[in-house]
């Protein structure tokens, strides 16, 4: 991949500009004598909460655990019960669905909107049944999946809104939440973040976080992630060990300081692609005005995907597919394989992710656009 003239992603190159700050952060933790919890994790949590515009952030082990802990905490607090339904977008990364089923909750798959590739919020109300108590909204590819329709249906039916914010740290919704916030991670009742190395704010290993305005939920998540213990040697839940390591917290404090530059850079690349790709065989993602997406991926669609990707590869452009097999067609979810989700199935056959990481300059994006325009010309 990295032998490509335009690599899709090269994490060594992504982190190289921060090497000095990352070394300093690692040394600080090594010298601190504090290797679980402590001031580095607490500072990161404060900084993430401030960046998100919520009162509470809890550092955890990864994005999947962040979501599992949110659902588990709602169950411990009696606000969700085993077997309750959760609306999930059919077009998502499988981790979103794994979190739901791991907690004994029942995913109710809803098709995406073809323009946003996100959950089609206008289909949520008709998908509800008496069992459904929550919506997991996924800000896929960095585009906020939140609007007045979703807020309204959640309010009228008393649904908990959980955000899968793994791909959208720093994104802003086009409409405010009832709490008058715009930033993803503050729009619903609780949100899960992932800092997997390829994400917009990547750790140097696995890491995640939960954000919420709800003090009781934050407390339950924190206890569940620490063996179910609220005070030392007192266990109020049958919990787990899902804590954030201080060394990752220290690295993430560096990444958080540079997040706005990274978001601006990704928006610039997206706007270069948007302004220059003009091949009728390639459908571009729409761009909102103002652009609140953080472009974790820039995903185009092409009906002749295999040929398109081969052509791009031959011309030095690395691409990827997010995602080739939707959750309901994975073999672990054979029980959902009979569902009819034609939009999701078609997207899975057509999507192609173009390079948008910090290995890609605006000039590269212009050259890649020209290569795309020459496809089958």
Ligand X SMILES: *Cc1c(COP(=O)(O)O)cnc(C)c1O
- Smallest distance, ligand X to C-beta of residue 89, A: 9
* Residue 328 to residue 332: CA distance in whole angstroms: 9
Give the range of 93-101, 108-116, 125-133, 152-160 binding ligand X by CB under 6 A.
Answer: 93-101
- Smallest distance, ligand X to C-beta of residue 193, A: 8
Beta strand pairing call for 208-212 and 190-194? antiparallel
- φ, ψ for residue 299 (rounded to 5)? -110, 115
State the DSSP H helix or E strand holding residue 75, giving kind and residue range, or none if neither: helix 63-76
Residue-level length of the chain:
377
Q: Which of 96, 121, 184, 212 binds ligand X (CB under 6 A)?
A: 96
* Residue 44 to residue 207: CA distance in whole angstroms: 12
Question: Which residue, 203 or 359, is less far from ligand X as judged by CB?
Answer: 203
Residue that has been written with the tokens 């959950």 in this structure: 119
Contact 5, 361 (CB under 8 A): no
- Residues 6 or more apart in contact with residue 234 via CB below 8 angstroms: none
Q: Which of 56, 71, 196, 295 binds ligand X (CB under 6 A)?
A: 196
Give the range of 3-11, 19-27, 159-167, 169-177 binding ligand X by CB under 6 A.
Answer: 159-167
- Smallest distance, ligand X to C-beta of residue 166, A: 3
Taking residues 45 to 84 in sequence order and writing x for each that binds ligand X by CB under 6 A, - otherwise, the string is -----------------xxx--------------------
* Residue 72 to residue 229: CA distance in whole angstroms: 14
Q: Which of 100, 166, 220, 256 binds ligand X (CB under 6 A)?
A: 166
Question: Which residue, 319 or 369, is less far from ligand X as judged by CB?
Answer: 319
State the DSSP H helix or E strand holding residue 110, giving kind and residue range, or none if neither: strand 106-110
Q: Which of 7, 142, 208, 318 binds ligand X (CB under 6 A)?
A: 208
Question: Which residue, 145 or 154, is less far from ligand X as judged by CB?
Answer: 145
Contact 280, 300 (CB under 8 A): no
- Smallest distance, ligand X to C-beta of residue 180, A: 26
* Residue 107 to residue 129: CA distance in whole angstroms: 12
* Residue 239 to residue 216: CA distance in whole angstroms: 16
Helix, coil or strand: residue 299: strand
Query: Rule CB under 6 A: is residue 320 a binding residue for ligand X?
Result: no
- Smallest distance, ligand X to C-beta of residue 322, A: 8
Query: Rule CB under 6 A: is residue 95 a binding residue for ligand X?
Result: yes
Q: Is the dihedral of CA 96, 98, 101, 106 positive or negative?
A: positive
Question: Which residue, 140 or 365, is less far from ligand X as judged by CB?
Answer: 140
Residue number with the smallest Cβ distance to ligand X: 63
- Smallest distance, ligand X to C-beta of residue 141, A: 9
Taking residues 242 to 281 in sequence order and writing x for each that binds ligand X by CB under 6 A, - otherwise, the string is ----------------------------------------
- Smallest distance, ligand X to C-beta of residue 134, A: 16
Question: Which residue, 244 or 272, is less far from ligand X as judged by CB?
Answer: 244
Query: Rule CB under 6 A: is residue 356 a binding residue for ligand X?
Result: no
Question: Which residue, 169 or 312, is less far from ligand X as judged by CB?
Answer: 169
Query: Rule CB under 6 A: is residue 93 a binding residue for ligand X?
Result: yes
Query: Rule CB under 6 A: is residue 353 a binding residue for ligand X?
Result: no
Question: Which residue, 62 or 369, is less far from ligand X as judged by CB?
Answer: 62
- Per-residue 3-state assignment (H helix, E strand, C coil) for 137-192: EECHHHCCCCCHHHHHHHHHCCCEEEEECCCCCCCECCCCCCCCCCECCCCCCEEE
Cβ neighbour number for residue 284 with a 10 Å cutoff: 20
Beta strand pairing call for 208-212 and 298-301? unpaired
Burial class (CB in 10 A: 0-12, 13-18, 19+), 83: exposed
- Smallest distance, ligand X to C-beta of residue 136, A: 10
Residues that bind ligand X (CB under 6 A): 62-64, 92-93, 95-96, 138, 164, 166-167, 194, 196, 206, 208
């Amino acid at each position: 991949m990295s032998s490509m003239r335009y690599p899709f992603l090269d994490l060594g190159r992504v982190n190289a500009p921060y090497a000095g700050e990352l070394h300093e952060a690692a040394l600080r933790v090594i010298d601190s004598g504090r290797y679980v919890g402590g001031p580095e994790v607490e500072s990161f949590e404060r900084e993430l909460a401030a960046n998100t515009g919520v009162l509470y952030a809890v550092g955890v082990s990864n994005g999947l655990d962040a979501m599992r802990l949110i659902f588990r905490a709602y169950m411990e607090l009696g606000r969700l019960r085993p077997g309750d339904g959760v609306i999930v977008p059919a077009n998502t990364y499988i981790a979103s669905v794994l979190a739901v089923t791991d907690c004994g909750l029942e995913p109710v798959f809803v098709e995406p909107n073809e323009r946003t590739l996100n959950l089609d919020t206008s289909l949520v109300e008709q998908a509800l049944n008496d069992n459904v108590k929550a919506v997991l909204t996924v800000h896929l590819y960095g585009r906020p999946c939140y609007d007045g329709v979703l807020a309204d249906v959640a309010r009228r039916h008393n649904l908990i809104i959980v955000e899968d914010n793994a791909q959208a740290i720093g994104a802003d919704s086009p409409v405010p939440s009832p709490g008058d916030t715009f930033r993803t991670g503050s729009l619903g009742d609780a949100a899960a973040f992932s800092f997997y190395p390829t994400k917009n704010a990547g750790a140097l290993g696995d890491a995640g976080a939960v954000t919420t305005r709800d003090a009781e939920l934050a407390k339950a998540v924190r206890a569940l992630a620490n063996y179910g213990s609220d005070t030392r040697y007192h266990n109020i839940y049958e919990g787990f060990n899902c804590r954030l390591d201080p060394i990752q917290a220290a690295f993430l404090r560096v990444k958080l300081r540079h997040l706005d530059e990274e978001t601006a850079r990704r928006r610039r690349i997206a706007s270069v692609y948007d302004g220059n790709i003009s091949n009728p065989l390639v459908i571009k993602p729409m761009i909102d005005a103002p652009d609140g997406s953080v472009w974790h991926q820039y995903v185009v669609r092409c009906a002749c995907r295999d040929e398109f990707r081969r052509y791009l590869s031959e011309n030095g452009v690395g691409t990827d597919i997010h995602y080739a097999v939707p959750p309901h067609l994975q073999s672990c979810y054979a029980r959902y394989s009979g569902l009819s989700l034609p939009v999701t199935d078609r997207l899975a056959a057509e999507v192609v992710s173009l390079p948008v990481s910090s290995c890609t300059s605006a000039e590269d994006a212009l050259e890649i656009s020209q290569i795309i325009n020459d496809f089958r010309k």
